[in-house]
Structure 1
Amino acid sequence: MSNTRFKWDKKGRRRIGISYAYLAPTLILMVILLMVPIIMVIRYSFFDNVIVNKNPVFVGLQNYKTVLTDKKFWEAVGHTLYFVIVSIIAHMIIGMAFALVLNTRYLSSTTKGIFRVLFALPWMFTASVIAILWRMLLDPNGVLNFFIQALHLSKQQVLFLASRDVALRSVTLINIWSGYPFYMISILAGLQGVSTDIYEASALDGANSVQTFLHVTIPSIKPILISLIMLDFVWTLQQFALIWMTTGGGPVNATETVSTYIYKYAFTKYQYSIASTGAVILLIVCTIIGIFYVKRQIAEE
């Protein structure tokens, strides 16, 4: 009996060892490309101007005090919250609407296929292509201004990306357009997984379309919606490329977000300690959301 158990333990350890051997290359890459930079950035946040200064001095929480008392940082936080919240709400509404259209039985399979391609098109473009496309559309001499003046909606050209009044809303609109397909595809997958028996039962109970949507459809795909909101919050919170390539955080910091704030301090002002501190604060927020997301996934399982 003991020899059999010994052989089994030996075989089990060998199997575990082989499993970790297969995982080793990925784990090593994750440590080098992910964990090491995170640890370095956290360390930089506790010193004075690192990299530029050959002998940085430990300053403790002074950098955090500097960032958290900076008016520009809180302006960036306000812009970021507007950008994130409006984007998430619009993504949810548009994604849900298009998913319901694609899930309806009143359209033929060919029509649904065409609509799927058209609706999912923004998701296929990279941030650079989206930025160039929308800069052309929103240019003072662009297509959108042409229609605005042709329809006599405004006598003057609208400076969508160069006016403090509308720049943030314009960038948010671009992000909404580029991000809603993720919601649409995910919600559509959830809708197709809902049993038709539930809808038939609700119809027999006399429920109308609105009641069916609120009391059958939404509860059935609620886990998907919560996961989408959490993921979108983290992704939109870290959105940088789209903002930087359209407005660069301007005009006069009108579209400055936490990500562009960090970038400017690092690569324009060369104050890497302040940039690292801002990055750590953003990391903490994303980590908290990530913990809630993981707990939610575990609870569902």
Structure 2
Amino acid sequence: MTLKSRPGSLGKRLTPYLYLSPTMVLMIILMLVPIVIVIGYSFYDNVIMNKHPVFIGIKNYAEILTDKNFHQTIYNTAFFTISSVVFHMIIGLTFSMLLNSKLLHQTTRSIFRVIYVLPWVFTAAIIAILWRLMLNPNGIVNYFLNIFGTIDSKVEWLGSRDTALYAVTFINIWSGYPFYMVSLLAGLQGISIDLYEAAEVDGANSVQKFLYITIPQLKPIIVSMAMLDCIWTMQQFSLIWMTTGGGPIRATEMLSTYTYKLAFSKYEFSQASSSAVIILIFSMLLAFIYVRKQKARD
């Protein structure tokens, strides 16, 4: 009887893998194989453009890591990513607490929810066009700043090395905070009211309730969103490309645009592969930290 049951038990064990096999095959073909190919390309002199590429080891990595433009790119990406994540968190938490407040009427909260979530609805192309028009020297931003006396001349927000990085960071913050707001709002609504009532009985004020109840209860959500946001923001391409293209003079050059230009402007596909592998390593480190946090949370 044991021998007869073995085929059935084996079939039960294999059934989940049979269901997963189409997805696994697609992931291998569309993800794993391209990654392996790009890693292989990074060790040759210049693939695609050279019919007979020569193996040169880590020379491409050495050139990338010692390139001053790459150092500027690392700084821009770090500033862009850290600033975006921090302000996404602050603005998202502020708006979520406002929308969860009982001080506002239900209708008022519903209206503000629609308004606050609008930036998340727009595509990157619409956001880029919208802000390029508003930040134009003749745009509405300069107009109002001039009326209020903040500036006395027209500013090239996206065309000046002094302001371009701050401008694209602001745009990314504006377009990304609704993700935090919606997630944190759901988290706030999941906190038991009994905790706040017990704190009031113990004499806790609003600040103490926020620090010792709200933040600890939201911490798992905050950590998860921060990790994911770091990965997504570090790989941001479309918004940068459609607003500044990495300019002016590499002032807003990110790892993504730097790699793209190496491949499709300079046709240095091997160096572009090396840059892509470096981005992959950064992303995998963040993903590893995220998975560990998720396991600790579970």
TM-score range, shorter chain: over 0.9
Task: Report the Cα distance in structure 2 between the residues aligned to 1:258 and 1:166, rounded to whole angstroms.
Answer: 19
Task: Report the Cα distance in structure 1 between the residues aligned to 2:162 and 2:226, rounded to whole angstroms.
Answer: 28
The match for 1:105 is 102
Question: Secondary structure of 2:170's match?
Answer: helix
The match for 2:179 is 182
For residue 30 of structure 1, the aligned residue among 27, 41, 48 is 27
Question: Secondary structure of 2:129's match?
Answer: helix
Task: Report the Cα distance in structure 2 between the residues aligned to 1:121 and 1:153, rounded to whole angstroms.
Answer: 28
After superposition, residues 1-301 of structure 1 pair within 5 angstroms as 3=1, 5-301=2-298
CA deviation after TM superposition for structure 1 residue 17, in Å? 2.6
- State TM-score, norm by structure 2: 0.97
CA deviation after TM superposition for structure 1 residue 300, in Å? 1.2
Q: Could you give the per-residue CA deviations for residues 20-67 of structure 1, whole angstroms, max 9, x where no partner exists?
A: 222122111111111111111111111111111111111111111000
CA deviation after TM superposition for structure 1 residue 7, in Å? 4.1
Letter paired with 1:169: Y
CA deviation after TM superposition for structure 1 residue 188, in Å? 0.9
24 and 165 in structure 1: CA distance in 2 versus 1, 3 angstrom threshold? same
Task: Report the Cα distance in structure 2 between the residues aligned to 1:193 and 1:12, rounded to whole angstroms.
Answer: 41
Aligned length: 298
Task: Report the Cα distance in structure 2 between the residues aligned to 1:55 and 1:17, rounded to whole angstroms.
Answer: 44
Question: Secondary structure of 1:153's match?
Answer: coil
- RMSD (CA atoms): 1.1
Q: Could you give the per-residue CA deviations for residues 3-25 of structure 1, whole angstroms, max 9, x where no partner exists?
A: 1x344432232223332222122
Q: Could you give the per-residue CA deviations for residues 127-183 of structure 1, whole angstroms, max 9, x where no partner exists?
A: 111101111111111111111222222221010000000000000000000100111
Query: What percent of counterpart residues are identical?
Result: 54
Task: Report the Cα distance in structure 2 between the residues aligned to 1:65 and 1:190, rounded to whole angstroms.
Answer: 46
Task: Report the Cα distance in structure 2 between the residues aligned to 1:15 and 1:127, rounded to whole angstroms.
Answer: 46
Q: Could you give the per-residue CA deviations for residues 77-133 of structure 1, whole angstroms, max 9, x where no partner exists?
A: 001111011111100000000010111122222222211111111111111111011
Task: Report the Cα distance in structure 2 between the residues aligned to 1:180 and 1:13, rounded to whole angstroms.
Answer: 49
Q: Could you give the per-residue CA deviations for residues 176-223 of structure 1, whole angstroms, max 9, x where no partner exists?
A: 001001111111111111111111111111111111101110011111
Q: Could you give the per-residue CA deviations for residues 205-249 of structure 1, whole angstroms, max 9, x where no partner exists?
A: 111111110111001111111111111111100001100100000
Task: Report the Cα distance in structure 2 between the residues aligned to 1:115 and 1:235, rounded to whole angstroms.
Answer: 26
Tell me which moved more, 147-156 or 225-234: 147-156
- State TM-score, norm by structure 1: 0.97
Task: Report the Cα distance in structure 2 between the residues aligned to 1:147 and 1:197, rounded to whole angstroms.
Answer: 47
Task: Report the Cα distance in structure 2 between the residues aligned to 1:253 and 1:133, rounded to whole angstroms.
Answer: 22
Task: Report the Cα distance in structure 1 between the residues aligned to 2:200 and 2:7, rounded to whole angstroms.
Answer: 60
Letter paired with 1:148: L
Task: Report the Cα distance in structure 1 between the residues aligned to 2:32 and 2:208, rounded to whole angstroms.
Answer: 48
Question: Secondary structure of 1:161's match?
Answer: coil
Q: Which segments of structure 1 move beyond 3 Å, counting only runs of 4 or more?
A: 5-9
Task: Report the Cα distance in structure 1 between the residues aligned to 2:107 and 2:22, rounded to whole angstroms.
Answer: 45
Letter paired with 2:178: P
